[in-house]
Amino acid sequence: MSSIAQKKGFGATLWDYLTTVDHKKIAILYLITGGFFFIVGGIEAMLIRIQLLKPDNDFVAAGLYNEIITMHGTTMIFLAAMPLLFGFMNAAVPLQIGARDVAFPFLNSLGFWMFFFGGIFLNLSWFLGGAPDAGWTSYASLAISSPGHGIDFYALGLQISGGGTLIAGINFLVTIINMRAPGMTYMRMPLFTWSTFVVSALILFAFPPLTVGLFLMIFDRMFGANFFDHTMGGNTIIWEHLFWIFGHPEVYILILPAFGIFSEIFSTFSRKRLFGYSAMVFATVLIGFLGFMVWAHHMFTTGLGATANAIFAVATMAIAVPTGVKIFNWLLTMWGGSITFTTPMLYAVGFIPSFVAGGVTGIMQASAPLDYQLHDSYFIVAHFHYVIVGGVVLGLLAGLHYYWPLMFNTMLNEKLGKITFWLFFLGFHLTFFIQHFLGLLGMPRRVFTYGADQGWDLFNAISSYGAIFMAAGVIVLIVNIVMTIAKNVPVGRDPWGDGRTLEWAIPQPVPFYNFKQIPLVRGLDTYWIEKQEGNTEGMTFAEPIGDIHMPNNSIIPFIMSLGLFVGAFGALYNGEQPWAIPVLGLGLIITFAAMATRSLKDDLGYHIHKEDLLNEKGGKH
Amino acid sequence: MMKGLKKWRLFSMLTALMIFLAGCGDEHLSTLTPAGQVGRDQLDLMILSTAIMVLVIIVVMIVYIIAIVKFRRSKLGEDFMPKQVEGNHTLEIIWTTVPIILLLILTVPTVIATYELADTKGMDKKDENGNNTALTVNVEANLYWWEFEYPDLGIVTAQELVVPTGEKVYFNLKAADVKHSFWIPAAGGKLDTNVDGINTFFLDFDNPSDTLEDGVFYGKCAELCGPSHALMDFKVKTLDREDFNAWAKDMKASADQAAPATAVAQEGQEIFEQSCIACHAVSGAGTAGSVGPNLATFGDRNRVAGYLKHNEENIKAWINDPQEFKPGNRMPQPEDLPGRNGKALTDQELDALTEYLMGLSVEE
Amino acid sequence: MDLNTKYTPHSWPDHPESATLEGKNKFLGFWLFLGGETVLFASLFATYLALKNRGPSGMEFTTQELFELPLVFIMTMLLLTSSLTSVYAMYHLKNFNFKAMQAWLVVTVLLGAAFLGFEIYEFYHYVHLGFTYNQSAFSSAFFTLVGTHGLHVLIGLGWITLLMLRNSKRGFNLYNAPKFYVASLYWHFIDVVWVFIFTVVYLMGVIG
């Protein structure tokens, strides 16, 4: 049985990760892959800033520049930020609600491998004739006329990884609804679990429009359909609607989990219960709901007419209200607390002014007539980097330091962590604050170069130098990670000393079955309550020790995703290479054969026996 | 009362800041130095929204700074146990309603301006003779160049928009190939040029542009449209109504231009008529839809290819290798032009073409 | 969970599809999946409505001329009936009557296959008229919307058939009961989508 494995060699470890269905290991896979793509996207960002360092620069050529900006945006959103968030969700959410695993461990693995192969497929475009070059929004008229296969890589790659995301979303919804421990009512769930719950619902309803949009684009480009060809009756505005009906909720899919992470951090390191918990929950749900009502504010200049613009302007402004509620509740959580400035807390404290700045420029752009000036200028570039770097990336870095001991039973170096924070934080403001003014001075976005003496030279140079600080911060972080892994000093339970929620109550390293006995939850901040009452076990148990049912590992998710990956090449080169159709067929056969194997072979899992648990043997892994 | 005063102080501070920032920008390009009423309306909204937002930021920052200074564990001691507060209904109500009020203050002018700026009914107003009273320009965006047709005047030009001052000028916008976006930052916000339909809006300009540094306002393409998106600039020349009427008349008359003055220019004309005229018209009278930019006003222009300095060197360099300058544009390399049979242009031929082109002018 | 547990009609639970945690999860997860599918079809419907009757200048195909209601009506009846027969099958799942369930599922599959046959004929007919996939934006949108539904029918048929074959010798247990149940949920969903296609594409196309 795979559970009682001993010290393993590299091959066995690799096989273990390829076949794992354990949410904690899948979390690590998401972390590694997402981290890799974060570095790739970061290198692309540096190339952009080098090119714009001075006017009339020729560091990268015009067409290549468009490929770089497209891949920077696509990689950062789909292949870095979302997977990293999924990593933390996988690591923390089942533990926070007192579950032994997610609802569908097999699908959890499938979701990861689809994301993985989709991301690899998309990035292979660099080596196979050129990356997509129509921007991450891939507006239809430009995308349809884009030569080469870049856009096809974009559409097929996102389709595959998007499928993985959808699966992950459904999985978390069911997990949170069905698998909570006794006593873990909805209004006792930690905020990170709540935001995961809302975000999963957003994924469920936001990704299908993207799926449809991408299919329409694939059909147009590969099978000669006419959805976006206006000479044949098509309409390119359909793409804009479908993309933004997905795209706007996507912004909240990224930011809400970051909000969740920050909520945990503020409360933990202020040693204080989250202020206005129910208002926070309500605000999270409301933001998620309103997120679907505002997509057309990305299209104010498309020409939808005054009435549509006015309605969407007002709806967009409404989102400021629940977001403001969150900001003030975080402030009041710190107020009267006992704040300790650990690295995660530094990120949380740095997040507030950054995100407020990003939020208020969002309100400026919600004012449609003003947005006519700001849209597609550097102002919007500054705005969404304030929201996404100042909100999401700071959240990811905070989460990385905060959850590192939970995932690896060792602590990242605090000193290096703080150096990373200051380099990254200062670099971030230096890079992006000035870009607001570039926009106001008339600089459009997505320009590969700009003429001298338009009043933009100095500001662009400042922005580029700021980016160097951010890069330096990331390098220090990598050094920190390597050193921490090399030293590998175990930390044990509740490494931060102020843990409040259930995940910190588990002995470290977390056993592969999570909870020997399912806990009984007696209130918000369960672990805090138990600690206050002097319970050294860390939790009250809801059941006696008994057999634990576990799912079997499986290589099938990997093979299914691999089949889609292979098949995508067939679809891409269809009509161009003689081997295209056979390869498409081969890929689909691999996938369907894997599915058939899955359904023909009963997979009932196995049990860890009570005796093994009592001997504590099963706990070591 | 005090609060109101403070708000006004903030407001005037911001205005001062804006004026200071305007100093960094260029008058012909910056949104902070509006050239007409549309731009001013949008700047007013910017100042109003910035004022409200700065107010919010100040409140947040005050609470924030006090919190992180006053409640640090290093000050309170390791043993300090904070009171585990659940929340506060009064506070929740306050920070829900106050933002709603602030947003309403912004919402009202936003909605009014949205409708006002979309009101293009003036386009179809007729005088007693059935002629349109307002000037309408049809803009067609092409891969990296702009065409401007004046349907009521029967003239067409490219790359340099010429408009009268002191009145609303209406625009019909569309794209010929892929989506672009029409933006004159100093005059007002942008509107997309779609391939599927026509968008309409208006702009206005207070003063003739000849007092500006370059004598023109800068226009930009604001929607990613391909490799040379960054270079898809155009220029806007504003004239008072009389000068504009004179210009329009000259354009109309440019159909029967006098033959070039010099022999070199005549040689240039021959080359042009053999290899260039299939795409480029040299008469300002006409309608939209040509393959390449109309060159009737070429000699008067501010730029070559929309963005290069207007001198003979750049004209020659551009004609000799358009792909080098604007990758992905539709102008053939010289050897692929009709009648060239794969032959590049000699220096002499380039000189001749340049002299001819420089002589194309409607402004004496 | 144990495959060897033998059930009798008495020990068989009232809701076999959600008697285990795995079953409950599958049941809920599948409902959520159908929620996502609904949005997918909503997007396709919106696209279709935006592009209905749109084509190159001088296009001769319109919904009025193209669609023939009698054929579509027969298809609708076939699919609605198959939905009803799948309800009977689920009744026998709860009733612990494996043979009856299998029999009703066979009827369901046959009706579904007949529907698909008519649809293939319909598409073939349109293509024969020159209304091909690439003919216009309208044709692309029509074939994509209705074809996506057809693909769902095909997947549903394959799924139910394989389930029947796989479990033909095993009878009921709490491991396969949820599988049958969600397959029938899927079949109902397909039916509901078709009702919308029938209304929005065909009825509103011919009459509206």
B14: contact with A, CB 8 A cutoff = no
Contact C29 A232 (CB under 8 A): no
Q: Which residue of A has its CA nearest to B182?
A: A301
Residue A227 to residue C25, Cβ atoms within 8 A: no
C170 touches chain A (CB under 8 A): no
C40-79 residues labelled b (16+ CB within 10 A) or e (exposed): bbbbbbbbbebbbbbbeeebebebeebbeeeebeebbebb
**3-class SS at A273?**
coil
Q: Summarize pLDDT for A191-201 with one digit per residue, the tens.
A: 999 999 999 99
Residue C166, classified by CB atoms within 10 Å of its CB into exposed (0-12), middle (13-18) or buried (19+), is middle
pTM of the model: 0.94
Contacts of C11 (CB under 8 A, 6+ apart): none
Tell me the C-alpha distance between A258 and B134, whole Å. Answer: 53
If you measure CA to CA, which chain A residue comes closest to C176? Answer: A602
- Please tell me the distance from the alpha carbon of residue B170 to that of residue B168, in angstroms, as a whole number: 6
Q: Which of A370, A386, A533 to mutate to test the interface with B (most CBs of B within 10 A)?
A: A370
Is residue A618 over pLDDT 50?
Answer: no
Residues 300-359 of B with CB under 8 A from A: 307, 327-328
> Do B82 and A338 make contact, defined as CB atoms within 8 angstroms?
yes
Say if residue B25's pLDDT is above 80. Answer: no
Is residue A1 within 8 Å of A606, Cβ to Cβ?
Answer: yes
**How confident is the model at residue A1, as a pLDDT?**
36
Chain C interface includes A205 (CB < 8 A): yes
Nearest CA in chain A to B220: A444
Reported as half-sphere exposure (CB side, CA atoms, 13 A), residue A355 has a value of 24
User: A514: distance to nearest CA of chain B, Å?
Assistant: 29
Residue percentage of chain A with pLDDT more than 90: 90
d(CA A381, CA A45): 13
**CB–CB contact A204 C44 (8 Å):** no
- Three-state SS string across A197-232, please? HHHHHHHHHHHHHHHHHHHHHHHHHHHCCCCCCHHH
Omega cis (within 30) before B334 = no
Q: Does A272 sit within 8 Å of B85, measured CB to CB?
A: yes
Q: What is the pLDDT of residues B57-96, one digit of tens each?
A: 999 999 999 999 999 999 998 889 999 999 999 999 999 9
Mutation target among B19, B195, B225, B235 for the A interface, most CBs of A within 10 A: B195
**ipTM over the 0.90 cut-off:** yes
Say how far apart CA A189 and CA A243 lie, in whole Å: 33
Tokens found for residue A293: 């009502």
Q: What is the pLDDT of residues C101-121, one digit of tens each?
A: 999 999 999 999 999 999 999
Res A458: pLDDT: 93
Predicted confidence (pLDDT) at residue C144 exceeds the cutoff of 80: yes
At C3, the pLDDT band (50, 70, 90 cuts) reads: low
Buried b (16+ CB within 10 A) or exposed e, A94-127: bbbbbbbbbbbbbbbbbbbbbbbbbbbbbbbbee
- Residue A81 is given by DSSP the state I
Helices A105-124 + A82-96 axis angle, to 10: 170
- B177: contact with A, CB 8 A cutoff: yes
B120 touches chain A (CB under 8 A): no
The DSSP call for residue B145 is E
Which candidate, C25, B274, B363, places its Cα nearest to that of A172?
C25
CB pair distance less than 8 Å for A234 and C137: yes
The alpha carbon dihedral of A229, A231, A232, A236 has a sign of positive
Residue range A331-351, pLDDT digits in tens? 999 999 999 999 999 999 999
The DSSP code for C133 is: T
CA distance C206 to chain A (A): 20
Q: Say yes or no to pLDDT of A2 above 50.
A: no
| pLDDT value of position B9 | 61
Q: What is the pLDDT of residue C8?
A: 83
The token duo for A431 is 């890079």
In angstroms, rounded to a whole number, what is the distance separating the alpha carbons of residues A422 and A405? 22
- pLDDT band with cut points at 50, 70 and 90 for residue A142: very high
Burial class (CB in 10 A: 0-12, 13-18, 19+), A540: middle
* Chains within contact range of chain A (3+ C-beta pairs < 8 Å): B, C
Mean pLDDT, residues A168-175: 97
Q: CB atoms < 10 A from the CB of A278, how many?
A: 13
Q: Which amino acid is at B142?
A: N
Mutate to test the interface with B, among A351, A367, A460 (most CBs of B within 10 A): A367
Dist. CA C74–CA C90, nearest whole Å = 25
Would you say residue B6 has pLDDT above 80? no
Of A309, A361, A441, the CB nearest to B29: A441
* Cβ pair A161, A114 in contact under 8 A: yes
Cβ distance C140 to A242 less than 8 Å, yes or no, reads no
Query: With b meaning 16 or more CB within 10 Å and e meaning fewer, what string describes A8-33?
Result: eeeeeeeeebbbbbbbbbbbbbbbeb
Enclosing H/E stretch for B304: strand B303-304
Residue C55 near chain A (CB below 8 Å): yes
Q: State the count of interchain CB pairs (< 8 A) between A and B.
A: 289
Helices (H), A454-579: 457-487, 526-532, 556-572
Residues from chain A that touch B229, judged by Cβ atoms under 8 A, are: 66, 446-448
Residue carrying the six token digits 């370059």: B214
What's phi and psi for C45, nearest 5 deg? -60, -45
Which amino acid, B189?
G
Helix H or strand E encompassing B173: strand B168-175
Question: Given CB atoms, is A247 within the 8 Å cutoff of chain C?
Answer: no
Contact C54 A211 (CB under 8 A): no
Dist CA A466 CA B2 (whole Å): 40
pLDDT in tens, A10-50: 899 999 999 999 999 999 999 999 999 999 999 999 999 99
Pick the residue from chain C with its C-alpha nearest to A235. C51
Cβ–Cβ contact B188 with A under 8 A = yes
Q: Is the pLDDT of residue B2 over 50?
A: no
Contact A364 B50 (CB under 8 A): yes
Any contact of C with B, at least 3 CB pairs below 8 A?
no
**What is the rounded distance in angstroms from the CA atom of residue A31 to the CA atom of residue A343?**
19
- C-alpha span between C198 and C208 (Å, rounded): 13
Q: Do the Cβ atoms of B221 and A444 come within 8 Å?
A: yes
What is the secondary structure of A392-447 as a DSSP string?
IIHHHHHHHHHHHHHHHSB---HHHHHHHHHHHHHHHHHHHHHHHHHHHTTPBSS-
> Which residues of chain B does A325 touch, with a Cβ-Cβ cutoff of 8 Å?
92, 95-96
Q: List C-alpha distances in Å: A64 to A6, A122, A135, B227, B356.
A: 50, 16, 12, 8, 36
Q: Does A171 touch chain C (CB under 8 A)?
A: yes
Q: Verify whether the Cβ–Cβ distance C43 to A207 is below 8 Å.
A: no
Distance CA C28, CA C18 (A): 9
- The DSSP code for A517 is S
State which H helix or E strand residue B235 sits in: strand B234-239
Neighbours of B363 (CB within 10 A): 12
Mean pLDDT of B179-204: 95
Gap between the Cα atoms of A77 and A250, Å rounded: 9
Average of pLDDT values for B124-130? 88
> B259 CB near a chain A CB, below 8 Å?
no
| Contact check, Cβ <8 Å, B24/A352 | no
* pLDDT higher than 70, residue C148: yes
Average pLDDT score over residue span A579-583: 94
Which chain B residues are closer than 8 Å to A62 by Cβ?
Answer: 227-228, 230-231, 327-328
pLDDT of residue B14: 65
**Structure confidence at residue B216 (pLDDT):** 94
- Residue of chain C minimizing CA distance to A208: C40
Size of interface A-C (CB pairs under 8 A): 114
Cα–Cα nearest to A321, from C147, B100, C26, C7:
B100
More confident residue, B237 or C19: B237
Please state the φ and ψ torsions of residue B237, each to the nearest 5 degrees: -110, 125
- The closest of A180, A104, A87 to A407, measured between CA atoms, is A87
Neighbours of chain B (3+ CB pairs under 8 A): A
Report residue B19's pLDDT band, with 50, 70 and 90 as the boundaries: low
Span A491-511, pLDDT tens digits:
989 999 999 999 999 998 999
Which has the minimum average pLDDT: A593-602, B8-17, B104-113? B8-17
